Amino acid sequence: MKKAPVIAALVIIGLVILAKAGIFDSLMLFVLAGVIPGTQYAIPSTFMLLIITSIAWLLLFNLIPFEPRTVGKAGKKKTSPSKKNLPKQRYKEI
């Protein structure tokens, strides 16, 4: 039995339950306006900007793999191998 349809159905059911409970509305109010769910308090806009920027920064550098760059002789790639690195050429003549 394939697991993909079962997992997709569970995800869809979970999203419908969260939408009907009003959790999505609370999360959107928190992200857009800084209103803490269930209270009348609001976070200042500069603090919300700092939070969203730091989350984006952490996601960018933790989820996207970067290759380290080397500078100098170690960073240069050889375009043509030297004679020492060439394989032995056997059976040149038949």
> In this predicted model, what pLDDT tens digit does every residue of 22-60 receive, in sequence order?
888 888 888 788 888 888 888 888 888 898 899 888 888
Q: Is residue 92 very low, low, confident or very high in pLDDT (cuts 50, 70, 90)?
A: low
Residues in the chain: 94
Residue 9 falls within a domain, yes or no?
yes
Q: How far apart are CA 93 and CA 87, in angstroms?
A: 17
The number of folded domains in the chain is 1
| Residue 37 covered by a domain | yes
Q: Which domain holds residue 13?
A: 4-67
At residue 44's C-alpha, the angle toward residues 41 and 49, to 5°, is 130
pTM value is 0.41
Percent of the chain with pLDDT over 70: 69
